[in-house]
């Protein structure tokens, strides 16, 4: 909602008077003076007029989880346990996933009730890095590094995958950094070089790293720094 409309409605002064008080610097959004009458204000922002609360902000929730294998990246599932089932928060039903992992994949999953935050993190133009540890059935040839960097053509979507960084850690072990998130992307990329992923684990999304002390099935709220990164 635009700030003038919100102040007019919740402050019961009407939109015209709301514009006057905003321009005069009497309105604060999350503690900061805001003079933009058309500023979009989401449901989480606390809005004050002359230091009096006009509208209490909602509770923003940002969670990281170490997803165990066998748990589905969904909010509800008739058959399987979901990541949301594992979160003990009174408002957990408001949460949505910021990118999914396959049921067999382990590692970092992010959840939030803040749609603007998840949109920013998922926006294709932001090219946020997703880092995976991969174990494969067969030996990964050195030439794969070049192939992953060049990209693979996916018929279904009619596109070529963006340059991905493959770092070989062992004969059948690698770290893969993607800057996009297509359906089953890691598995499909390895399939294209005639190999097969036998274990997949996500270590990082953007600047948010799965901490070593967070055991499978464990979760915690993100810190302010992690949310802002």
Cβ proximity to ligand URA: between 47 and 186 the closer is 186
> What is the Cα Rg of the chain in Å?
22
Site residues, ligand URA (CB under 6 A)? 101-102, 105, 184-187, 200
Burial of 15 (0-12, 13-18, 19+ CB in 10 A): middle
Cβ proximity to ligand URA: between 16 and 156 the closer is 156
Identified catalytic residue from 42, 77, 85, 102: 102
Shortest reach from residue 106's CB to ligand URA, in Å:
9
Residue 223, both tokens: 């810190």
Residues 6+ apart with CB under 8 A from 126: 120
Cβ proximity to ligand URA: between 41 and 185 the closer is 185
Alpha-helix residue ranges (DSSP H) falling in the chain = 3-10, 14-23, 115-122, 144-150, 185-192, 224-228
d(CA 66, CA 108): 5
Burial of 129 (0-12, 13-18, 19+ CB in 10 A): middle
Cβ proximity to ligand URA: between 27 and 110 the closer is 110
Question: Token pair 């967070």 is at which residue?
Answer: 214
Shortest reach from residue 227's CB to ligand URA, in Å:
23
Q: Active site includes 85?
A: no
Active site residues: 102
């Amino acid at each position: 909602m635009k700030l003038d409309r919100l102040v007019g409605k919740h402050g019961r002064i009407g939109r015209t008077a709301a514009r006057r008080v905003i321009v005069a610097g009497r309105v604060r959004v999350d503690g900061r003076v805001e003079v933009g009458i058309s500023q979009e204000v989401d449901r989480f922002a606390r809005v004050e007029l002359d230091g009096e609360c006009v509208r209490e902000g909602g509770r923003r929730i940002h969670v990281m989880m170490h997803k165990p294998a066998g748990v589905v990246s969904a909010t509800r599932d008739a058959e399987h346990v979901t990541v949301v089932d594992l979160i003990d928060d009174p408002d957990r039903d408001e949460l949505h996933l910021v990118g999914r992992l396959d049921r067999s994949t382990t590692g970092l999953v992010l959840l939030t009730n803040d749609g603007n935050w998840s949109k920013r993190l998922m926006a294709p133009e932001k090219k946020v890095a997703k880092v995976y540890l991969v174990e494969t059935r067969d030996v990964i040839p050195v030439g794969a590094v070049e192939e992953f960097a060049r990209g693979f053509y996916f018929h279904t979507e009619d596109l070529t995958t963006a340059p991905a960084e493959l770092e070989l850690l062992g004969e059948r072990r690698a770290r893969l950094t993607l800057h996009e998130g297509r359906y089953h992307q890691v598995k499909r990329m390895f399939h294209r070089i005639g190999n097969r992923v036998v274990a997949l684990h996500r270590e990082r999304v953007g600047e948010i790293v799965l901490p070593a002390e967070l055991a499978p099935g464990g979760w915690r709220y993100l810190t302010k720094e992690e949310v802002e990164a």
